[in-house]
Chains A and B, each alone.
Chain A
C-alpha cells in the first residue's frame, strides 16, 4: 500500500489495532495454557473436533468392554470352579460304582454304604450345580429362580444365555448351559447318580454297569463344558487385554488432538509477549513527538 500522507489519527489507530491484535493472540495462547487444551471449541479446528468426538466415543466403548470382560471373567471363574468340583465328585461316584461292580467281593452292607455315599455325592453335585454368581445360578440361563436344578434333579432354569459384549461385534457366553452340561431331564447326571444309588442298594449288577457307562458319558460332557469355558476364558482375557491397550492408545490420540503442547504453548506465549511489548514500545515512540516539540 502506498502511503502518501500519514496523519496522527492513522498512527494512533494503527498502534491501537496492533496492540489489540497482540493482546488477542496472547489471550488465545493464555486460554490454551489455562485450560490445558488447544481444542476449546469446535471452530478451533473442525477436523480435530470430529476426531476428538469419534475418539471419545471409541474410548467410552473400549472402557466398557474392559468392564464387561472383568464381569465375564468372574462369571467364567465361578462356572469353572463349580465344574471342577462336579467332575471330582462324579469321578469319585464312578470309582464307587466300579467298586460295587466287583462282584463277589462286596457284601450287601458294603454296597449299601457305597449307595449312601453316591446319594451324598448326588446332593453335593446338585448343590454345586446350583452355584450362584451375584444371586444368579450360573447353570440356569436367564432364569429368575435362585436354583438351576430342582431337588429331584429336573432343570429349573431356562434356555437363555448370559453373554458379555467384549468388542463392538463380539459377545462371549459367560455361563454354561445346564442341559448341555448335565444332560436332559431324566437322563442327566443327577438321575444317573440316583439310579446308581438305587442299583447299589438292590445289588443289581446290570444296572450298576449301566450307571458306570452313564457316568462315563456324563464325565465326557462335563469335560467338554470345561474345555468350552476355558476357551471362553482365554477369549475374554485376550479381548480384555486388547481393549485395555486400545484405551491407552485412544487416550494418547485424544490427548494429541485435544491437549495443548505445553512447551510449544509456553514458547508461543513468550513470543506473543515480546511482540506485544514491541507494539507497545512502537506506540509509545510514534504517538509522542510532533513538530511542536521542535518549534521554539
Chain B
C-alpha cells in the first residue's frame, strides 16, 4: 500500500477496467450479426510490484489495482486459412453446378422434344415413305422431320454458344471483382501497418481484411500467406496478386479458351473459386460437349448423305446430298439441302421403289453416340452435384469451427456484462469506503468537543 490516497487509485483502476470490459461486451453484442466480426475480449492484468525489483527500490504494497493488458481479437489464423480453402472449393463446385444444371436442362433429354426424339421421328418418316415412295405427303413429312432434326442440333448448339458467351462476361465481371478486392486488401495492409505503428486498435480493420481475403478465396481460390509483420500476401494459384501494400492487376483474355494473367504473368491452369469454375467450364466442359455434338452432327450428315446419294430421286436422277453442313460449326450449321420434295432419293431401283428410304431410315448410327454423350454429361453433372453437397457439408463444419472460436455468444456477453456491472458496483463501494475512511481520518481524528 502506497498510502491511503493510493487506494483511491486502485479503485479508480478497477472502475476504468470494468468500464472497458463493459464497452467490449457492449461492442460484441452490438456486432453479434456483423459479417466478419470476430469477438473481442478485454484481458485484465493486475498492477503490482515493478517488473525488476532492486535492492534500493523495494515494493511494499499488496497490489495497485488492475489495468487493461490488451483487447484480444479471438481469431485463429489456422481456422481462417481452412475456412478460406474450403469456401474456395465450394464456390468452385457450386459455380460449375449452377452452369451445368442450366445446360443440362436445355438439352431436354430424356423427353419427347429432344434430339433423340427428332432422330426417331425422322426414321419413322422414312419408313412411312417406304410405304408410299412417290407420295407428296410422305415426302413433305420426311423433309419436315429432317428439318426438325437440324433445329434440334441447332437449339443445343445455340444454347451452348449462348452459355459460353454468358460465362465469358461472367468471367470478366469476376476478374473485375477480384481486382477491386485485391486493391482494397492492399490498401488495408498499408493502413493496418500504419495503425499498428501508431498503436491504434486494428481489430475492425483486421475484420475487414479477413473478409476481403475470404472473398478473394471464394472468387479465385487464392491462398493467403501471413507475413511475419502481419501483412497478408495473396497469390492466385502461385502467382502473386497482393504483396504488402501493392496489388497487381488480373486480366482475362476474351474468347475461348480463357487465359488468366496477373500483372503480366500467366496464371497456370487449375485456378479455384468462382473464377476457376467459370474458366474450367468455358475451357473444358462446354467445348468438349460442343465438340461431341459437332462430331455427331458431322457423322449424321455424312451417313445420311452417303445413303441418300446411293438412291434415285423421283425424276430418276441420282440422289444429291440431303444435308449441308459447315465444318466450322457443324451442329449449328446443319441444314436440309433442298426443299423440293421430288429430290428425295427414296428409290433404290424402280420409280416407286422405297428401298433407299428404308435404308435411309437405318442409315445413321448417331442415336447411340448421342445417348452416350447425354449419359456421360448427366454423369458429370451428377458427380458435380454430389461433390457440391459433400463440400457444402465440409464447409459448413469448418465455418462452424471458426464460428465457435470467433462468434459472439449473447449469453456469454450478458454474463460478462453482469460481472463487469457488479465489479463496477463493488469498486464504487470501495471508493465510498475510502471516502468514509478519509473523512474519519481528516475530519474526526483528534477533534474534541
Contacts and interface: CB of A to CB of B under 8 A. Distances in A.
A286 interface: no
B430 interface: no
A6 B403 CA distance: 8
B282 interface: no
Contact of A54 (B130, B350, B371, B411): B371
Contacts of A292: 410, 414
A165 B358 contact: yes
Given A7-B404, A61-B123, A165 B130 contact: yes
Interface residues of B, number: 61
Nearest to B350: A142
Interface string A40-62: 01111111011011101100110
B414 A64 contact: no
Contacts of B105: 41
A50 B372 CA distance: 7
B109 A53 contact: yes
Q: How large is the interface on A (under 10, 10 to 19, 20 to 34, 35 or more residues)?
A: 35 or more
Contact of B116 (A7, A10, A17, A53): A53
Contacts of A288: none
A258 B112 CA distance: 12
B367 interface: yes
Contacts, number: 168
B131 to A, nearest CB: 5
B404 A4 contact: yes
A258 B110 contact: yes
B410 A56 contact: no
A42 B378 contact: yes
Interface stretch (A156-164, A226-234, A276-284): A156-164
Interface in A36-86: 39, 41-47, 49-50, 52-54, 56-57, 60-61, 63-64, 67-68, 71
B379 interface: yes
B408 interface: yes
Interface string B355-371: 10010010000011011
Contact of A5 (B351, B352, B409): B409
B117 interface: yes
Interface string B368-396: 10111011111101100100000000001
A9 B32 contact: yes
B120 A164 contact: no
A141 interface: yes
A42 B104 contact: yes
Contact of B350 (A43, A63, A158, A258): A158
Given A57-B120, A68-B131, A9 B358 contact: no
Nearest to A4: B404
A134 B403 CA distance: 81
Contacts of B349: 142, 158, 160
A143 interface: yes
A210 B93 CA distance: 92
Interface in A167-224: 171
B6 to A, nearest CB: 36
Centre residue among A6, A142, A158, A163 by max chain B CB count within 10 A: A142
A99 interface: no
B313 interface: no
Centre residue among B134, B381, B404 by max chain A CB count within 10 A: B404
Given A43-B378, A64-B124, A8 B352 contact: no
A136 interface: yes
Given A42-B381, A46-B375, A134-B132, 19 more contacts: A3-B404, A7-B403, A8-B410, A10-B407, A42-B110, A42-B377, A43-B382, A53-B116, A56-B110, A57-B367, A60-B121, A60-B123, A141-B350, A144-B351, A160-B349, A160-B353, A290-B410, A292-B410, A295-B418
7 contacts: A1-B397, A10-B407, A56-B110, A67-B127, A142-B349, A165-B358, A165-B361
